[in-house]
Amino acid sequence: MQLQDYVLENQKIVELVSNRVPGDSKIDMYYGTLDYATSRFNTILLKLSQDKILELDHRKEVRECFEAIQSFYNNVIRYTEWPPLFKHVVAMVLHHIGTKKIPKIKKLLQLLDN
């Protein structure tokens, strides 16, 4: 996958977050996580687009970060659409993704900054 493909795929997340009307604090927290993760990921893509060697070196990490964001996004959509009985299961999945996979985006960005 090329860097531009990642940007195009994340466009739906950027639109969802920008068109979001605040309300429920729990859902707002999930959208905030999506917003930060997507902006950091786009910054990573911008830095990698300037250096092809770095892009090749970090191809695997970029793919993992992209999949983490997409997984978090899909589960946020599930959380908002599923009945209340199942929301706690989706909330546990979101917590796992948010604590285990999303921090990898920040770590990769810090690695590229140094």
- Per-residue pLDDT reduced to its tens digit, 19-58: 887 777 888 899 999 999 999 999 999 999 999 999 999 9
73 lies in which domain range?
3-12+24-113
Instruction: Answer whether residue 18 is part of any domain.
Output: no
Does residue 71 lie within any of the structural domains?
A: yes
Question: Above 80 in pLDDT, residue 105?
Answer: yes
Question: Into how many domains does the chain fold?
Answer: 1
Is residue 19 included in any domain, yes or no? no
What's the pTM value of the predicted model, to 2 decimals? 0.90
44 phi-psi bin (left φ>0, alpha ψ -120 to 50, beta other): alpha
Only one residue has tokens 């997507």, namely: 38
